[in-house]
Structure 1
Amino acid sequence: MHTKDGIHLYENKHRAKNRIKSHFHETHQLLYVLEGEGDCILDGRSYALQEDRFIVIRPRTTHSIHASSKMTILVLQFDELHLTDDYRDELVAPVFKHSEVLQLNAFKGSEIRQLLRKMLYEQLHDQEIQSAIGLKLFLGQILLALVRMKQQSSIQDANDRRAAELKRYIESHYYQLTHAEDLAAKMGISSRYMQQIFKDSYQLTPMQYLTEIRLNRVKHLLVETQLDIVSICFEVGFESVSTFYRVFKNRVGVSPLVYQKTQLDEAKENDLLN
């Protein structure tokens, strides 16, 4: 197989129902699904394949591919021994930490498709030295795009975990929380960052969610217990009765007492009907 400085990009076309038996390579491989659907197995783990999926295959990783429909895959393979230390340490190592299948979003998919087109163009050039340099540059840009994508994914996963932890904390401590700053301090993050990650996950700020939790608890206590308004206000964590009345009416549309009477009357009517 002809390579330029250890880098080669080529196209594999698979007919429907075609199966590539389990095998491995000594080189690093990046496979980009241009069209079609199928599945692949990497080290015994199965992954679905479709357009814009990117298959990362470490050297000596046993893998196989099955095309359930006509499928076209671009195969980019390279030998890291031809790359400089910074390429190997900062780009190759993080991308090839695991053999896996990545789903590219529309923006990232478009970016990488353009780079692959440029690599195909470079391979057609007669100037061997310039073409080899160009291939290294474009390979570096593809690897850098994947590194940044994985970093962003890792950050998002961490943010999702923080938001879920914050949600659980609000649900179990709703009666004692007062200010967003106190809540952020409990979580060890800034108030602004807390607001951002929570709203990204739940479309509410933490304090809005706190109010929602409190009001749901209030509704339950109004209907299911004999507690008076002041006791309910105190139990769920509102700082004053006036604040409680204002928030409840703004969110529910009626005062707590009207809500209580309406719910109890409806319950009595249902009992009579049954």
Structure 2
Amino acid sequence: MEVVRLHAETFLRLRSGQASVISDPEQLAVFHCHDYYEIFVVSQGTATHKINGVSQNLEPGMLYFVRPDDIHAYVTPSSQFQIVNILVPSALFRLFLDYVGDSYYSQSLLSPVLPPHVTLARAELETLMQTMRQLLVQGKIMKSESETLFRIALFNLLTTHFPVLPKKSTVPIPDWLKVVNIEMMKKANFAEGLPALYRLAGKSVEHISRSCRKYMNKTPSQLVNDIRLEYAARCLMQSKAEIMDICADAGFDSLSHFYHLFRAYFGISPRQFRKCACELSLPDHLLSGLEDQDANLEKAIPLRNVIDLSQENPVAT
């Protein structure tokens, strides 16, 4: 399977980004990743989203935040399927993170195996679609001013629909709990599990439990297991190790419990997850040369689909 790596400079007329409408089935079906971030919303119709080895059903109102190395495509679309997306250069996203500060906890967006997504209520979808339409028009007639308007729209979209801190929490996460979270990302610690968490925190079990629930809306066990599951998913994608061995390596004592937690977290079993990932595995020559895939770009995704000022309905990827 051929995977095309798309580059922001190919599509962006402005330094910030642009909005586009995509409905061409051939264009949607091309497996690709980017050197930029992409936010897309399903405006109408249905399809299957193949993303990082997993199949997800897409319906109107579903809003996705796709990272640069996520490999995805849209297959089996309905006749009316359409997405509207915006392309966010990596440099601009870093500026956003610098501006909002550490409390935004960007790893909630960047670290999961599958890209974050939300389903909008009808009123929310209508409001977002109005914003997208404005960006399309602004990009055509306002030129330099549209960059500022794009940044405002991007800030509002991210902070409204992808808030990564509990909405009810008004108290900053204590520094000790931030440190514990970072340390628990290390394999030796999450494999050990709760004993490592308690040791690193240096506080009573009761205090740790209250703090996890208050600031993270998780129990200590959920915190540890979520980290383990993300690690196991990466192993399933990147290695040929037996599932039982991956289960033990991640720190789970029970294979059946691992299967139960994995299915609850990802929606499919570890075996199904690996099967899907194998179907999307990159050939060696692509792994070693993703940056040189520009030669395939015009054939796979015609450059005529890039937003053109003369087009009534601009289209891009």
TM-score (norm: length of structure 1):
0.49
Q: Which has the higher helix share?
A: 1
**Which of 1 and 2 has higher RCO (CA within 8 Å, sep 6+)?**
2
